[in-house]
Structure 1
Amino acid sequence: MPVLPGAEPYRHEGGDVGVLLCHGFTGSPQSLRPWAEFLAERGLTVSLPLLPGHGTRWQDMQVTSWQDWYAEVDRELRVMLERCGRVFVFGLSMGGALTLRLAARHGDAVRGIALVNPGNKVHGVMAHALPVVRHFVASTEGIASDIAKEGVQEVGYDRVPLHAAHSLRQFFRVVDGELPQVTQPVLLLHSPQDHVVPPSDSARILSRISSTDVTEVLLERSYHVATLDHDAERIFEESHAFIERLSAGVSREGNESVV
């Protein structure tokens, strides 16, 4: 299937400091593209992959699982670690959970992580019914475009495939068990008004990670997809300052490429 316009992966060959960005469940790189470009303009090497089953049609997600999504970002991280001396991982929503697992499993190879409205649990009555319901109902209403800013749309699916949602629920449980292994510096930015992931998920993550260098930022003017919302510039600037603080310097050389 062809990739939806705007959902293409993005790469920029910059300096010795690299950033891997992970998008969310049923979303696409479009939700993080402005963030990626902001970092690229400041000389960083940037990778923003398209997760398997995403960016085409929701039916394509039915045959993918969390193992597929994680394998993609793990592969990208390993490539970046060969290319760059210092590597950071940033993520939105489920991308935040992917980020946390990369941090837990790769240890000091990941210099620091930034999380925007990270998911930790599938909420609601449907969550408990997923193991059975997914065999009878293919999909439910979508979760894309939870954005306060008028006229802004997220490139994502208008349906949530339930086989994939069941796998996401399993993944969150796996990541929750690994949170104590996260020791890196953490920048956590979350929205008090989020109609997809409640603030309790961020609180749970902060209570279980072992990191001692933690910065929490409230995104008062934005909903779930804050990287496309009113607080986007703040996210970009805070994350770049986070990198600058933890790096000796940032090279400004490199060329952009879209694949």
Structure 2
Amino acid sequence: MPVLPGAEPFRHEGGEVGVLLCHGFTGSPQSLRPWADYLAARGYTVSLPLLPGHGTRWEDMAVTGWQDWYAEVDRELRVLLARCARVFVFGLSMGGALALRLAARHGDAVAGLVLVNPANKVHGLSAYALPVARHLVRTTKGLAGDIALEGGYEVGYDRVPLHCAHSLRRFLAIVDTELPQVTQPLLLLHSSQDHVVPPADTARVLGRVSSRDVEEVLLEQSYHVATLDHDAERIFDESHRFLVRLASGVAEKGSTSGG
């Protein structure tokens, strides 16, 4: 099945500092591509993979689960670790949860985390019905496109397969138990108005990680997909400052490939 225009994975061969970018649930690399381009232009080695089942049709996603999505970012992280002297992981929404699990599992191999509106839980009473409902109803309304910026657009599905929502709920519960194992420096940016991930998720992440080097930034002009919203440049600049502080002295250079 052809990948949707703009949803292609992206890689840039830069210097000795690598960044893995993880996109969100039912989304695609398009939501993080401006961030990836910003980092590539500054000489970082960048990997922005397309998660299995994403970026094509929701029917393709319906036969995948969290193990598939996590395996993809784990594989990409290992590629970067073999290539770079220092590797950081960035994530949006579910991508933030994927980043947190990579940090918990890989320890000091991950040099730091930058998270934007990270998901911690599937909310609402309907979440508790997912184990049964997924056998009765295939999909529900999509989550993509929560952007305040006029004309802002996210390439993502307009339907959520309930099988995948159930898998996401299980995955977030696993990640929550692993948060105390996260010790890396952490920059967490979250929107004051987010119609997908509530403030409670940010508070839960910040309250359970064991990181001592933690910075929290409030994004006052953006909704959930803040990387495509009014605060995008602030996210990019803050993440670059974070990288410079933690990876100073590591050489940077490069060449680009991808959609």
Specify the TM-score bucket, using the shorter chain as the normaliser: over 0.9
Query: Which residue number in structure 2 is paired with residue 8 of structure 1?
Result: 8
Query: Which residue number in structure 1 is paired with residue 163 of structure 2?
Result: 163
Alignment of 1:1-259 (within 5 A): 1-249=1-249, 251-258=251-258
Report SS of the residue matched to 1:165. helix
Which structure 2 segments of 5+ residues have no match?
none
CA deviation digits over 1:30-74, x for unaligned, max 9?
A: 000000000000000000000000000001111100000000000
TM superposition shift of 1:249: 3.1
CA distance in 1, matches of 2:248, 2:230: 31
TM superposition shift of 1:251: 3.5
Q: TM-score, normalised by structure 1?
A: 0.99
CA deviation digits over 1:170-216, x for unaligned, max 9?
A: 00000000000000000000001000000110000000000000000
Give the conservation status (yes or no) of the 8 Å contact 1:43–1:250.
Answer: no
CA distance in 2, matches of 1:62, 1:221: 33
CA deviation digits over 1:195-242, x for unaligned, max 9?
A: 000011000000000000000000000000000000000000000000
CA distance in 2, matches of 1:249, 1:195: 40
| RMSD, aligned CA | 0.7
Give the conservation status (yes or no) of the 8 Å contact 1:189–1:218.
Answer: yes
Give the conservation status (yes or no) of the 8 Å contact 1:44–1:251.
Answer: no
Tell me which amino acid in the other structure corresponds to 2:4: L
CA distance in 1, matches of 2:44, 2:110: 15
Q: State the aligned residue count.
A: 259
Give the conservation status (yes or no) of the 8 Å contact 2:17–2:252.
Answer: no
Q: TM-score, normalised by structure 2?
A: 0.99
Report SS of the residue matched to 2:154. coil
CA deviation digits over 1:127-147, x for unaligned, max 9?
A: 000000000100000000000
CA distance in 2, matches of 1:175, 1:148: 29
CA distance in 1, matches of 2:130, 2:159: 15
CA distance in 1, matches of 2:163, 2:143: 15
Tell me which amino acid in the other structure corresponds to 1:183: T
TM superposition shift of 1:125: 1.6
Tell me which amino acid in the other structure corresponds to 1:162: L
CA distance in 1, matches of 2:250, 2:243: 9
Give the conservation status (yes or no) of the 8 Å contact 1:119–1:197.
Answer: yes
Give the conservation status (yes or no) of the 8 Å contact 1:7–1:30.
Answer: yes
CA distance in 1, matches of 2:220, 2:47: 28
Report SS of the residue matched to 2:146. coil
Tell me which amino acid in the other structure corresponds to 1:189: L
TM superposition shift of 1:126: 1.3
CA distance in 2, matches of 1:6, 1:248: 33
Give the conservation status (yes or no) of the 8 Å contact 1:8–1:55.
Answer: yes
Tell me which amino acid in the other structure corresponds to 1:220: E
CA distance in 2, matches of 1:251, 1:55: 34
CA distance in 2, matches of 1:222, 1:162: 27
CA deviation digits over 1:80-130, x for unaligned, max 9?
A: 000000000000000000000000000000000000000000001210000
CA distance in 1, matches of 2:70, 2:96: 11
CA distance in 2, matches of 1:182, 1:250: 24
Give the conservation status (yes or no) of the 8 Å contact 1:17–1:85.
Answer: yes
TM superposition shift of 1:252: 3.9
